[in-house]
Amino acid sequence: MDHLQTTLKEADLRILMHVLDCVRAGYSTCVVLSNDTDVIIALLYYVPMFRKKGLKELWVRAGRGNTTRFVPLHILHNRQGNDLCMVLPALHSLTGGDITSKIGTKKAALQSNPEIHLQGFGTSAEISPVQIQHAERYLVNVVKSGSNASNFTDLRRELFHFSKSTSHQNLSPTSHGLEPHIRRAFFNAYVTMYRMFLTDSTVLQ
């Protein structure tokens, strides 16, 4: 369909364009077939925009065969709150997604106050030193809750000296080694949150 032609190369984000097209066509309920966490994160981020366009219910059909289930993202968004859903792309990118490495667990990430530490992460084209510092401090909490370390270099030293099960092979990187990961996560979050607006001038209409 000509009106769905876009320069978006990310398949995950093209799904969002189809949801938006359904809403514009007058549908108030949409079901997305996907087992991809990246898709669910992006959909949760865009729930408020879809609602403004008239969407009432947004579902994801996940799983296969006997494990098939329908997840109501409109209800999940309400329960988690808009503040958390607005930083989910940042949280997901920093702790491991399609193009970023895994750091910590998603459960630990959700329990480390992402609404406070990740405000503004990925909302501009350039990352600032302050945002890098906040993201690093956030990831310290994700890796080791309650740690006194303020950065990954200190955390690496702390884990080496005080963690009995930590070997040289699975020590956390230094702050210098972590910075490229944070920058890549920032770019990925930015793409998720703003690329659709940059490539389709009709999104906000």
Q: What are the domain boundaries of the chain? A: 1-80, 81-205
pLDDT attached to residue 196? 59
Q: Name the pTM for this structure.
A: 0.87
Spatial separation of the C-alpha atoms in residues 38 and 150, rounded to whole Å: 29
Mean per-residue pLDDT pooled into runs of 10, the chain (205 residues) = 68 85 93 92 94 95 89 96 96 93 95 94 93 96 92 91 69 92 95 68 47
Q: Are 136 and 173 in contact (CB under 8 A)?
A: no
